[in-house]
């Protein structure tokens, strides 16, 4: 029997330099993007819709008789068709109770169609081959804005037999493409008199200020002003007063360089690390090494002398070997950026999980100048 244990030791020694004597760090050149890629207009938003429905036509993979919601929904549906049956008389293996969800896009008109998602909330095994019956979809105000119906597509399968089971994708969730028809419109006011509000997707004071400068320079007029870190108020120019859509179309094409916060995003489950270009660190010395311990066990047979009265014994022998790699010490000067961090950590042979531990320790010591986000 062999067992192998590996212990990693990571030592972080951090020395933060004083502000006096630190070199000036210039901002890295940003990426220029369109206004429509970083902002949206106030009123241009989606609305969520939900409904409770039934999927029929399942090949015995629907809800069991223990699902009371399913039984009651079927009884109610049959009653609307003039059939009165007791819930105890119903067999529901070919029917599944589902939640139906959809997103109503902005400025959608009556008669347009949208996709819906169908999710089982009972004990159905699969929605494969099922058809969603007419289901009203309501908004947060309780009003019906769409009606959904149609065949459910799950993009997978669930097959079992002989004690074996094969499944592809998630068979209790499916979609009905263009399965809902919009029955009522949601009014969204895009303009307020002669003004528009532009909302940043990632609020930031610097980005809002740059957005104002870019818009005013493009239209050669003082038509934009920042209200806060997320909202820029726009005055529609007089030449576009009767055609605000043309103004919006031109506005969406204006280019701006957004600013980003210094962030390090870590996913500990997958070992993924993403560091922004603005991340800076103070002087850091990193010592990285590893200790490997190998424990092996063998068995020897002890045979007694022929004339003795002893018995054969099996004696275990344990052998332990330990080796430690030579630790490497790398030093990053103050103001190092993300490229310097990656180069040094790769040079000392640090794995992604080692880098995560190192960055957390550097942040705890106050030498990582940026936000550390762990997801």
Residues 228-262 have pLDDT tens digits of 999 999 999 988 888 888 999 999 999 999 988 88
pLDDT at 188 over 70: yes
- Measured CA distances, 43 to 103, 190, 199, 202, 223 (Å): 15, 5, 10, 17, 20
| Angstrom distance (rounded) from CA 37 to CA 256 | 10
The beta strands (E) that lie in 257-283 are given as 263-267, 272-275, 280-281
pLDDT at 93: 81
- Average pLDDT on 30-59 reads 90
Summarize pLDDT for 283-335 with one digit per residue, the tens: 766 665 554 444 455 667 677 767 666 677 767 665 555 455 555 555 556 55
- Average pLDDT on 126-153 reads 93
Residue 225's pLDDT band, with cuts at 50, 70 and 90, is very high
CATH for 33-43+189-256 (3.40.1350, 3.40.50, 1.20.1630, 3.90.1150): 3.90.1150
- Rounded to 5 degrees, what angle do the CA atoms 242, 247, 249 make? 130
Tokens for 308? 């003795």
The torsion of the CA quartet 26, 29, 33, 35, rounded to 10 degrees, works out to 20
Per the model's pLDDT, the better-predicted residue between 6 and 337 turns out to be 337
- Average pLDDT on 142-151 reads 95
Residue 74's pLDDT band, with cuts at 50, 70 and 90, is confident
Lowest mean pLDDT across 33-42, 50-59, 295-304: 295-304
| Angstrom distance (rounded) from CA 78 to CA 113 | 27
Domain ranges of the chain: 2-26+263-295+322-374, 33-43+189-256, 47-182
Report whether 276 contacts 372 (CB < 8 A): no
Report whether 282 contacts 11 (CB < 8 A): no
């Amino acid at each position: 029997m062999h067992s192998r244990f590996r212990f990693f030791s990571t030592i972080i020694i951090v020395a933060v330099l004083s502000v006096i004597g630190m070199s000036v760090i210039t901002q890295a050149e940003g990426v220029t993007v369109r206004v429509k890629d970083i902002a949206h207009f106030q009123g241009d938003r989606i609305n969520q819709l939900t409904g409770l429905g039934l999927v029929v036509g399942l090949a015995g993979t629907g809800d069991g008789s223990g699902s009371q919601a399913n039984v009651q929904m079927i009884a109610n549906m049959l009653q609307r068709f003039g059939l009165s049956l007791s819930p105890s008389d119903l067999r529901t293996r070919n029917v599944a109770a589902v939640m139906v969800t959809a997103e109503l896009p902005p400025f959608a008109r009556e008669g347009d169609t949208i996709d819906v998602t169908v999710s089982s909330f009972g004990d159905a095994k699969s929605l494969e081959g099922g058809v969603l019956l007419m289901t009203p979809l309501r908004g947060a105000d309780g009003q019906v804005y769409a009606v959904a119906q149609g065949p459910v597509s799950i993009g997978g399968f669930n097959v079992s037999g002989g004690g074996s089971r094969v499944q592809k994708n998630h068979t209790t969730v499916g979609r009905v493409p263009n399965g809902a028809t919009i029955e009522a419109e949601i009014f969204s006011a895009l303009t307020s008199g002669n003004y528009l509000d532009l909302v940043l997707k990632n609020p930031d004071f610097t980005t809002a200020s740059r957005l104002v400068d870019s818009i005013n320079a493009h239209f050669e007029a003082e038509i934009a002003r920042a209200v806060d870190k997320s909202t820029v108020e726009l005055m529609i120019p007089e030449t576009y007063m009767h055609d605000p859509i043309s103004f919006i179309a031109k506005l969406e094409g204006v280019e701006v360089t957004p600013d980003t916060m210094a962030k390090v995003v870590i996913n500990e489950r997958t070992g993924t690390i993403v560091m922004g270009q603005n991340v800076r660190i103070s002087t850091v010395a990193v010592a990285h090494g590893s200790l490997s311990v190998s424990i092996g066990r063998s068995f020897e047979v002890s045979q007694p002398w022929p004339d003795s009265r002893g018995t054969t014994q099996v004696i275990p022998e344990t052998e332990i070997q330990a080796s430690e790699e030579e630790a490497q010490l790398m030093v990053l000067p103050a103001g190092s950026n993300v490229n310097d961090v990656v180069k040094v950590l790769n040079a000392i042979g640090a794995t992604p999980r080692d880098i995560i531990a190192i960055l957390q320790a550097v942040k705890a010591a106050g030498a990582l100048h940026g936000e550390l986000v762990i997801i």
